[in-house]
């Protein structure tokens, strides 16, 4: 069987660009932090997997140091500074050497009433236009504007907002699904219908390109990100996907960079990721260690158990043909197949492991004897899979391995 038998079936008529915000939104997750040197290494790994733009903070000294280290690497990706709609933030981005910025500003009445109850929408808009012109026209920065809480915004105001920032010099508008309530269904209406939002922006505004930034409060961040990309197909020349590696970020996090990337490559045949997916697991492991985030073992694509098989039915299938229970080879994403022994293990995996460690194919009677020993362990309350050394100990006790055997 070949990957082509099932994948590369849905080509896109737009260029999707991954705009990773791990080093901005990602590290806003409670309890996470990253040292400047590690931030630079993360940026390098993101570049190697095909990320084309990243977003950084630049206010505290460690952030400024990280920004400098990253820019000194001259990576094959664009580096943007995240700003609020205040000129001081733009000044800080310029001092850090950024050539582009993302200006974040709310667009929903919920935010306006909570943050600026005394201001009119016109006064709010005037300030944003002023800051966008300052960045884009006064200093010539490539400027994105992030519409915070777009999926709860009144469209008549948001439309005015997008046209105003386009005239002020912004090249891209980011639809922010700030509380994760976006709906991916093409029939879902504004404001929270993601495809409807993409279509309306194309039809009723003058902005050149769009971006989607989805939060995962309902578990739909990847779904909504892909929905925006598909809706942009045939409408926009390019569409940006703002994601974080492993989905880290505020509250329930964001759309995972690795999931969006692999979906774009395998399901939509986005060729620029070819040959780059083999570093997805390495990138996940590094980000986990560098930030203090514990990667869930069952995390899709990059988790340690992403290709682990333990139950009898699964291990029997995978031993005969990995395609039975694996959608693509683990090597494609830099992961590893793991055949483990536990409560659900059958004769097939135990026979395979005895052969692997002893170099000899055991007789059925021997296999049955080992199966019984394993069952005894789990009958006494064990829950975790057996470590290799524990399984070897069983084999030694049954004289199937010499006492000093260290084979792997």
Q: What is the pLDDT of residue 1?
A: 82
Q: What is the pLDDT of residue 311?
A: 87
Structural domain harbouring 206:
3-291
Is 405 a member of any domain? no
Is 105 a member of any domain? yes
Residue identified by tokens 């519409």 is 147
Q: How far apart are alpha carbons 38 and 48 in whole angstroms? A: 15
My answer on whether 185 and 260 are in the same domain is yes
My answer on whether 157 and 90 are in the same domain is yes
Q: What is the pLDDT of residue 248?
A: 98
Q: What is the pLDDT of residue 346?
A: 86
Q: What is the pLDDT of residue 406?
A: 56
Could you list the beta-strand ranges (E) of 34-148: 53-56, 78-84, 100-106, 142-148
Is 301 a member of any domain? no
Could you list the beta-strand ranges (E) of 261-318: 308-309
Per-residue pLDDT of the chain (408 residues; tens, 9 = 90+): 899 999 999 999 999 999 999 999 999 999 999 999 999 999 999 999 999 999 999 999 999 999 999 999 999 999 999 999 999 999 999 999 999 999 999 999 999 999 999 999 999 999 999 999 999 999 999 999 999 999 999 999 999 999 999 999 999 999 999 999 999 999 999 999 999 999 999 999 999 999 999 999 999 999 999 999 999 999 999 999 999 999 999 999 999 999 999 999 999 999 999 999 999 999 999 999 999 999 999 999 999 999 999 888 899 899 999 999 999 999 999 999 999 999 888 899 999 999 999 999 999 999 999 999 999 999 989 998 999 899 999 999 999 999 865 555
Domain boundary among 264, 291, 318: 291
My answer on whether 25 and 72 are in the same domain is yes
pTM of this structure: 0.94
Strands 238-243 and 308-309 come out as: unpaired
* Residue 379 dihedral angles phi and psi, to the nearest 5°: -65, -25
Domain boundary among 291, 321, 340: 291
Q: How far apart are alpha carbons 32 and 39 in whole angstroms? A: 12
Is 402 a member of any domain? no
Is 403 a member of any domain? no
My answer on whether 135 and 22 are in the same domain is yes
The CATH number given to whatever domain includes residue 220 is: 3.20.20.70
Residue identified by tokens 């236009």 is 129
Cα dihedral across residues 89, 239, 52, 295: positive or negative = positive
Is 302 a member of any domain? no
Domain count, the chain: 2
Q: What is the pLDDT of residue 407?
A: 52
Q: How far apart are alpha carbons 75 and 50 in whole angstroms? A: 11
Domain boundary among 291, 319, 354: 291
* Residues of the chain by 3-state class (helix, strand, coil), percent to 5: 45, 15, 40
Q: What is the pLDDT of residue 119?
A: 96
257-266 and 221-232 are packed helices; what angle lies between their axes, rounded to 10 degrees?
A: 40
Of 377, 322, 313, 270, whose CA–CA distance to 18 is shortest?
A: 270
My answer on whether 277 and 339 are in the same domain is no
SS3 of 173, please?
strand
Helices (H), 177-220: 194-204
């Amino acid at each position: 069987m070949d990957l082509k038998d099932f994948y590369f079936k849905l080509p896109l008529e737009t260029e999707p660009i991954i705009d990773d915000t791990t080093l901005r939104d990602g590290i806003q997750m409670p309890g996470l932090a990253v040292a400047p040197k590690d931030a630079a290494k993360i940026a390098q790994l993101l570049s190697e997997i095909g990320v084309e733009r990243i977003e950084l903070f630049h206010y505290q000294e460690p952030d400024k140091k990280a920004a400098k280290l990253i820019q000194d690497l001259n990576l094959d990706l664009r580096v943007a500074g995240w700003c609020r709609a205040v000129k001081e933030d733009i000044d800080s981005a310029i001092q850090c050497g950024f050539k582009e910025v993302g200006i974040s500003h709310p667009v929903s009445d919920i935010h306006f009433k909570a943050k600026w109850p005394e201001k009119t929408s016109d006064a709010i808009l005037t300030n944003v236009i002023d800051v966008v012109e300052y960045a884009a026209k006064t200093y010539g920065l490539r400027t994105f504007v992030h519409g915070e809480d777009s999926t709860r915004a009144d469209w008549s105001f948001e439309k005015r907002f997008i046209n105003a920032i386009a005239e002020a010099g912004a090249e891209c508008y980011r639809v922010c699904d700030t509380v994760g309530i976006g709906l991916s269904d093409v029939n879902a209406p504004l404001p929270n219908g993601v495809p409807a939002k993409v279509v309306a922006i194309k039809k009723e505004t003058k902005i050149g390109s769009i971006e989607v930034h989805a939060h995962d409060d309902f578990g739909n961040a990847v779904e909504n990100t892909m929905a925006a990309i598909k809706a942009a197909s045939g409408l926009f020349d390019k569409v940006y996907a703002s994601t974080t590696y492993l989905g880290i970020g505020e509250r329930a996090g964001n759309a995972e960079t690795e999931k969006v990337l692999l979906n774009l490559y395998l399901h939509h045949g986005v060729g620029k990721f070819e040959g780059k997916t083999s570093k997805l697991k390495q990138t996940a492991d590094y980000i986990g260690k560098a930030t203090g985030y514990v990667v869930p073992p069952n995390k899709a694509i990059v988790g340690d158990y992403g290709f682990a098989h333990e139950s009898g039915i699964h291990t029997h299938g995978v031993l005969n043909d990995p395609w039975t229970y694996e959608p693509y080879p683990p090597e494609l994403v830099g992961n590893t197949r793991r055949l483990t022994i536990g409560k659900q293990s059958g004769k097939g995996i135990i026979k395979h492991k005895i052969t692997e460690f002893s170099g000899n194919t055991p007789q059925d009677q021997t296999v049955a004897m080992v199966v019984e020993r394993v069952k005894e362990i789990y009958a006494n309350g064990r829950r975790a899979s057996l470590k290799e050394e524990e399984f070897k100990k069983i084999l030694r006790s049954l004289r199937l391995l010499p006492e000093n055997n260290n084979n792997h």
